[in-house]
Amino acid sequence: MMGLLESFSLTGKVAIVTGASSGLGVAFATGLAEAGADIAICARRIEKLEETKAKVAAIGRRCIAVRADVTNPDDCDHVVEETVGQLGKVDVLINNAGIGTAVPALRETPDEFRSVIDINLNGSYFMAQACARAMRDGAGSIVNIGSVIGSTTASLPQAAYASSKAAIIGLTRDLAQQWTGRKGIRVNALAPGFFESEMTGQYPDGYVEQMMVRVPAGRKGEPHELAAAAIFLASDASSYVTGAVLPVDGGLLTT
């Protein structure tokens, strides 16, 4: 029986991180590498993936970069095939690829709405399917990246984003009840609060600072704080946790 601290290690595991070309995706990839995992990263921007790959390699872990659009199931299957072919297996999926918009509902076009749902929800589902087919029975962990906006609002018009992240909660719980008992794959979600990302960079000046009044911790989150939560859910330390949604939000959802 492994010791408690040892159960947080990802040594010997292989993790796929989607949307790893920038921001929190980079933090997930490097954080899991620091915990001992070999990493497969994917995104649409292959040149940015190479920068993430170099960071993982500098930590001393193996890393492959695969260009992929998660809205295309064939691309998702290709990522998994490359991971198994080059790294040997798939143990962990961090379903991070996503986009966010802030468009008033009466001005949001059908294509704008569909695009957010397609990437945030459909892409997460297609990647989960592809990975679950490859994960060995009793040895898998899927971590979907949701948002506190799936459970509350944040003073911006975000119907598409909020809908997609609320759906991630339902997807997480359903896949957990389908796969945990039958395949031994745990499925959980993180619900980040305010972290620096490409999406927050698009918000109006001063918006994030104004929102801190709703955060008991009184500050934005640091990327390593979210990566640490992902390591917990990916590792054997959370072996009795499935179907859960873990807020990492400085207390935002308590207000």
Report the DSSP beta bridge partners of residue 65: 41
58 assigned to some structural domain: yes
Closest CA relative to residue 39, chosen from 72, 86, 75: 86
With a cut of 80, say whether residue 14 has pLDDT above it. Answer: yes
pLDDT in tens, 191-220: 999 998 777 667 778 888 999 999 999 999
Report the DSSP beta bridge partners of residue 193: none
Closest CA relative to residue 186, chosen from 228, 101, 99, 246: 246
Phi, psi (degrees; rounded to nearest 5) at 81: -60, -45
Please state the separation of Cα 101 from the chain's center in Å.
18
Domains in the chain, number:
1
- Measured between alpha carbons, how far is 77 from 137 in angstroms, rounded to an integer? 18
Q: What is the mean pLDDT of residues 18-28?
A: 95
With a cut of 80, say whether residue 190 has pLDDT above it. Answer: yes
Can you tell me which residue has the tokens 């199931």? Answer: 73
255 assigned to some structural domain: no
2 assigned to some structural domain: no
Where are the alpha helices (H) located in the chain, listed in sequence order?
23-34, 46-59, 73-87, 110-117, 123-134, 159-183, 207-211, 223-234
Q: Residue 144: which domain range? A: 10-246
Q: What is the pLDDT of residue 139?
A: 82
With a cut of 80, say whether residue 135 has pLDDT above it. Answer: yes
Q: What is the mean pLDDT of residues 42-46?
A: 94
Name the more confident of 202 and 78.
78
Instruction: Look up 161 and say whether it is catalytic.
Output: yes
Phi, psi (degrees; rounded to nearest 5) at 106: -80, -10
4 assigned to some structural domain: no
Per the confidence metrics, is the pTM higher than 0.85? yes
Q: Cβ neighbours of residue 154 under 8 Å, at least 6 residues apart?
A: 148, 211
- Measured between alpha carbons, how far is 34 from 26 in angstroms, rounded to an integer? 12
60 assigned to some structural domain: yes
235 assigned to some structural domain: yes
Phi, psi (degrees; rounded to nearest 5) at 42: -145, 155
CB 150 within 8 A of CB 191: yes
Average pLDDT across the chain, whole number: 95
CATH number at residue 47: 3.40.50.720
- Distances in Å between the Cα of 105 and the Cα atoms of 40, 119, 152, 162 are 37, 19, 17, 12
101 assigned to some structural domain: yes
Here the tokens at position 29 are 């990839």
Q: What is the pLDDT of residue 191?
A: 98
- Measured between alpha carbons, how far is 252 from 184 in angstroms, rounded to an integer? 32
Residue of 161, 203, 207, 240 with catalytic role: 161
- Burial annotation 137-167 (CB, 10 A radius, 16+ → b, else e): eeebbbbbbbbbbbbeebebbbbbbbbbbbb
253 assigned to some structural domain: no
- What percent of the chain lies above the pLDDT cut of 70? 98
- Measured between alpha carbons, how far is 211 from 215 in angstroms, rounded to an integer? 7
